[in-house]
Chains A and B, each alone.
Chain A
């Protein structure tokens, strides 16, 4: 089903025409540092379909060890959370966060009629659509649309990447994608474009749209670059891609940019072959970067205001394959990290490996419930309007 934006909104029973700008956004129009209390979401995407069962490990489950004779992670290697559960050995910082009450784990997250194509399933997660709908906007992009009626600095959502993801594309507003603030600032033809922009006289609608996008990007580039320089963090970060990205994000969180959402990807988790090596490398990068980032946030008094969440387009099959890997599966777990969690630790039961759907985990929580919760309770947004439907809220924030 192709659902156009308008129709998509009409499906929601509460598509209200009048939408009030929340007061806290107004504050940012003044040149001041963002006060503590400004909530920020950092999304970390595990691209490629992370194997959830070797991430949060059911250390006392016979079926798990039976189905994964080579890949199963032994109980004495896992970082034990409780009798039943351990974390992947590479996630030592996550274990620390768990112990101090800053980590929550949601198991069995997915959606009905799961799709096993990376691209399609990622689209479903990004657009927050049903698996038989095609929606051309993303959940965070629609959040921007709802928040940013008529505002001129599109710096409310940023992706640390050369290319913007669907998740951050709205109808009228789109997030900003850049890998490095300096590169963004030094656009090779920036001077020319600024002159062209200054010379532009509004007229035809499509031309104006392009100019609006260009002008906003050029302005943001300057601003972001200056802000990233103005508040350099003294925290040491690992010299990995994710380390650099989270360092940039931290410096921007500590600035006065009114960005509510940061988005970054790590991958590839598509571990059909020799899974354990590849997952270990990626988790080590993740672990070290998150460790530095959370320390930085704590030292700057912002850990309570920042919510990190991780997701992947799908989990993997319960049974290992013949190449010491796993193939595409369905439901998966999500991590939530913040000093401001209301519920901590394991939020729900571990996957039931005795109740599978043709060898795959059954989802128990729809990811759209997670989105609704984050949009409503963390970002103070109208989740029903953004998601086009009512999804009940969870209690972890």
Chain B
């Protein structure tokens, strides 16, 4: 059976963006997916606006102190450290919320969605808000550019150098963490290097560090400039050489395209399509935009088996609801609670491997909460959960104190939804086609909740309430967890 145009367009919007937006849904019937793709590309072509929540805390707190020794002394003052930590924690919350807001409202959907992917690929969990902010900007700026450039920049970012302990990687005491993860997770992937390659690469990265201002520095005295043998070649390699050799290795292109295929197309890989993507990516010198063009304009992307079979991440779920239902949140902090309870807090990936995704998002408690989200947003249900403590962030707060604070923070998990805008989507739809149209707008799955069941729960008072309750109920189903 041919896949309908509208379904294809919705598919493209769910995968390459954060789902259809209320005001655009009506136009999806007639437009071709190729035209829509061109629009998406165009909308993401503008220069990136930086999300800026903080200055370098060192600048802010060490006002005027520029002597490195003095800075270090000040940075070791426990009072000051605590202050910086608390400020950093709040900054990261703001960074999170502002980026989430951008994902929902920005026209550059393709860029933001791709940035979310790279945010998980170059996963970094550190408390320094300034470093996190700079890393995010790096990622958003390069999300559709050259993977080679992005890899090099990220590898020199204070955020990643700190997270992967390269500050401790010195000639006298090599620390392999950075070198290992660059190979295992950022480039060629496991099975494509030996333990000896890790050791030798770690030597090459010695001396890569950052200063108190958050700038990359190459500490020559700590660098091991001896001869190294890496992936079969021998020379006096430094960190840049290692990254270049990894990029010259076709396996990097294959590994990245495979990951992209599994993330955006289907968890079940397709050897042939992936190979093709990998070859093209390599021959196009790691041009991400071209890779995405290849992917989203291919016929196989729109195969029935690739539609409505991917589990949305918590952030995608939340952003998707907010795009179809334009809303004013009573308290935007409640989104942080959703992220935490559902297992995807931006800037807090579980580890350097990022969020595992897929079925890992789902367990009994996360699924039941996902099914309640639409009801909570429409105030039919209360957000009454207590997420787990994270002492790296909460610094020893007692449970009771945390519960109290949380209650205040999320008072009013509900939102004011612009139902007039939502009703407009369906204004030309005849009454007898209404439920079917709403269902196929909200759900991407092949099998759908039957009208018979929905009819029992839909408010038939008037057209507005009918549409409203149909959408809320449809969003509260297992099917809506998929896109």
Residues of chain A whose beta carbon lies under 8 Å from any beta carbon of chain B: 1-2, 47-49, 117-120, 123, 132, 134, 136, 154, 161-165, 169, 174-179, 187-189, 192-193, 195-196, 199-201, 203-207, 209-211, 213-214, 216-217, 220, 241, 265-273, 278, 281-282, 322-323
Assuming the A-B contacts A118-B391, A118-B392, A210-B478, are A164 and B364 also in contact, with contact meaning beta carbons closer than 8 angstroms in the complex? yes
Tell me, rounded to whole Å, the shortest Cβ–Cβ distance linking A149 to chain B.
17
Tell me, rounded to whole Å, the shortest Cβ–Cβ distance linking B208 to chain A.
20
Residues of A within 8 A of B341 (CB): 162-163
Residues of B within 8 A of A204 (CB): 308-309, 445-447
Answer yes or no: B6 CB below 8 A from chain A CBs.
no
Check B368 against A117 for contact (C-beta < 8 Å): no
Assembly CA distance A185 to B441 (angstroms): 31
Cβ-neighbour of B388 out of A49, A165, A213 (below 8 A): A165
Answer yes or no: B234 CB below 8 A from chain A CBs.
no
- 24 A-B pairs with CB atoms under 8 Å apart are A47-B388, A132-B177, A136-B360, A162-B386, A163-B341, A163-B385, A176-B364, A177-B365, A187-B372, A189-B476, A195-B453, A199-B449, A200-B447, A207-B447, A207-B482, A210-B311, A210-B478, A214-B478, A217-B367, A241-B399, A265-B388, A270-B394, A273-B396, A322-B78
Residues of B within 8 A of A203 (CB): 446-447
Answer yes or no: B381 CB below 8 A from chain A CBs.
yes
Assembly CA distance A236 to B78 (angstroms): 44
Check B351 against A1 for contact (C-beta < 8 Å): no
Residues of B within 8 A of A154 (CB): 364
Please name 6 further chain A to chain B contacts, defined as beta carbons within 8 Å, in addition to the given A204-B309, A206-B311, A210-B311, sorted by A numbering. A2-B185, A118-B391, A199-B450, A199-B452, A206-B482, A213-B367
Interface residues of B in 293-338 (CB under 8 A from A): 308-311
Assembly CA distance A164 to B368 (angstroms): 12
Cβ-neighbour of A47 out of B356, B360, B391, B457 (below 8 A): B391
Answer yes or no: B375 CB below 8 A from chain A CBs.
yes
Assuming the A-B contacts A162-B365, A213-B364, are A123 and B351 also in contact, with contact meaning beta carbons closer than 8 angstroms in the complex? yes
Assembly CA distance A213 to B360 (angstroms): 12
Tell me, rounded to whole Å, the shortest Cβ–Cβ distance linking A137 to chain B.
9
Assembly CA distance A179 to B352 (angstroms): 31
Cβ-neighbour of B477 out of A196, A209, A216, A266 (below 8 A): A196
Residues of B within 8 A of A164 (CB): 363-366
- In this complex, what residue of A is CB-closest to B307? A204
Residues of A within 8 A of B78 (CB): 322-323
Cβ-neighbour of B389 out of A48, A201, A211, A272 (below 8 A): A48
Residues of B within 8 A of A175 (CB): 363-364
Residues of B within 8 A of A205 (CB): 309
Residues of A within 8 A of B391 (CB): 47-49, 118-119, 267-268, 270
Assembly CA distance A307 to B81 (angstroms): 42
- In this complex, what residue of A is CB-closest to B478? A210
Residues of A within 8 A of B371 (CB): 189, 193, 214
Check B380 against A268 for contact (C-beta < 8 Å): no
Residues of B within 8 A of A49 (CB): 391
Name which of A48, A205, A220, A278 has the most chain B CB atoms within 10 A of its CB: A48
Check B359 against A209 for contact (C-beta < 8 Å): yes
Tell me, rounded to whole Å, the shortest Cβ–Cβ distance linking B121 to chain A.
13
Residues of B within 8 A of A195 (CB): 453, 456-457
Assembly CA distance A272 to B397 (angstroms): 11
Residues of chain B whose beta carbon lies under 8 Å from any beta carbon of chain A: 78, 125, 177, 180, 184-185, 190, 308-311, 341, 348, 350-353, 356, 359-360, 362-368, 371-372, 375, 380-381, 385-392, 394-400, 402, 445-447, 449-450, 452-453, 456-457, 473, 476-479, 481-482
Nearest 3 pairs between A and B by C-beta? Answer: A270-B396, A210-B478, A118-B391
Check A207 against B453 for contact (C-beta < 8 Å): no
Residues of A within 8 A of B449 (CB): 196, 199
Tell me, rounded to whole Å, the shortest Cβ–Cβ distance linking B331 to chain A.
19
Check A281 against B398 for contact (C-beta < 8 Å): yes
Cβ-neighbour of B352 out of A134, A199, A265, A267 (below 8 A): A134
Assembly CA distance A214 to B365 (angstroms): 9
Residues of B within 8 A of A216 (CB): 364
Check A207 against B366 for contact (C-beta < 8 Å): no
Assembly CA distance A178 to B368 (angstroms): 11
Assembly CA distance A266 to B391 (angstroms): 12
Residues of B within 8 A of A270 (CB): 391, 394-396
- Report the tally of A-B residue pairs with Cβ distances under 8 A: 172
Assembly CA distance A203 to B449 (angstroms): 13
Assuming the A-B contacts A48-B391, A268-B396, are A188 and B353 also in contact, with contact meaning beta carbons closer than 8 angstroms in the complex? no
- In this complex, what residue of A is CB-closest to B449? A196
Check B396 against A210 for contact (C-beta < 8 Å): no
Assembly CA distance A213 to B362 (angstroms): 8
Tell me, rounded to whole Å, the shortest Cβ–Cβ distance linking B15 to chain A.
15
Tell me, rounded to whole Å, the shortest Cβ–Cβ distance linking A127 to chain B.
10
Residues of A within 8 A of B367 (CB): 210, 213-214, 217
Assembly CA distance A211 to B356 (angstroms): 21
Check A48 against B396 for contact (C-beta < 8 Å): yes
Residues of A within 8 A of B310 (CB): 206
Check A123 against B350 for contact (C-beta < 8 Å): yes
Check B399 against A268 for contact (C-beta < 8 Å): yes
Residues of B within 8 A of A211 (CB): 478
Assembly CA distance A174 to B352 (angstroms): 24
Check B392 against A179 for contact (C-beta < 8 Å): no
Residues of A within 8 A of B400 (CB): 241
Residues of B within 8 A of A281 (CB): 398
Check A1 against B184 for contact (C-beta < 8 Å): yes
Name which of B360, B385, B391, B473 has the most chain A CB atoms within 10 A of its CB: B391
Check B184 against A2 for contact (C-beta < 8 Å): yes
Check B398 against A278 for contact (C-beta < 8 Å): yes
Tell me, rounded to whole Å, the shortest Cβ–Cβ distance linking B214 to chain A.
21
Tell me, rounded to whole Å, the shortest Cβ–Cβ distance linking A70 to chain B.
16
Residues of B within 8 A of A162 (CB): 341, 365, 385-387
Residues of A within 8 A of B386 (CB): 161-162, 179
- In this complex, what residue of A is CB-closest to B473? A192
- In this complex, what residue of A is CB-closest to B450? A199
Residues of A within 8 A of B399 (CB): 241, 266-268
Tell me, rounded to whole Å, the shortest Cβ–Cβ distance linking A71 to chain B.
15
Check A188 against B375 for contact (C-beta < 8 Å): yes
Name which of A196, A209, A266 has the most chain B CB atoms within 10 A of its CB: A196
Residues of A within 8 A of B380 (CB): 188
Check A201 against B375 for contact (C-beta < 8 Å): no
Check B396 against A272 for contact (C-beta < 8 Å): yes
Residues of A within 8 A of B177 (CB): 132
Assembly CA distance A200 to B479 (angstroms): 10
Assuming the A-B contacts A163-B388, A207-B478, are A174 and B396 also in contact, with contact meaning beta carbons closer than 8 angstroms in the complex? no
Name which of A187, A200, A271 has the most chain B CB atoms within 10 A of its CB: A200
Residues of B within 8 A of A273 (CB): 396
- In this complex, what residue of B is CB-closest to A171? B359
Residues of A within 8 A of B456 (CB): 195
Residues of A within 8 A of B356 (CB): 136
Cβ-neighbour of B190 out of A1, A119, A174, A213 (below 8 A): A1
Assuming the A-B contacts A163-B385, A192-B457, are A207 and B445 also in contact, with contact meaning beta carbons closer than 8 angstroms in the complex? yes
Tell me, rounded to whole Å, the shortest Cβ–Cβ distance linking A52 to chain B.
16
Residues of A within 8 A of B389 (CB): 47-48, 267-268
Residues of B within 8 A of A200 (CB): 447, 478
Check A210 against B365 for contact (C-beta < 8 Å): no
Check B388 against A217 for contact (C-beta < 8 Å): no
Name which of A195, A203, A281 has the most chain B CB atoms within 10 A of its CB: A195
Tell me, rounded to whole Å, the shortest Cβ–Cβ distance linking A192 to chain B.
5
Residues of B within 8 A of A192 (CB): 457, 473, 476
Assembly CA distance A174 to B367 (angstroms): 12
- In this complex, what residue of A is CB-closest to B402? A268
Tell me, rounded to whole Å, the shortest Cβ–Cβ distance linking B258 to chain A.
14
Tell me, rounded to whole Å, the shortest Cβ–Cβ distance linking A347 to chain B.
28
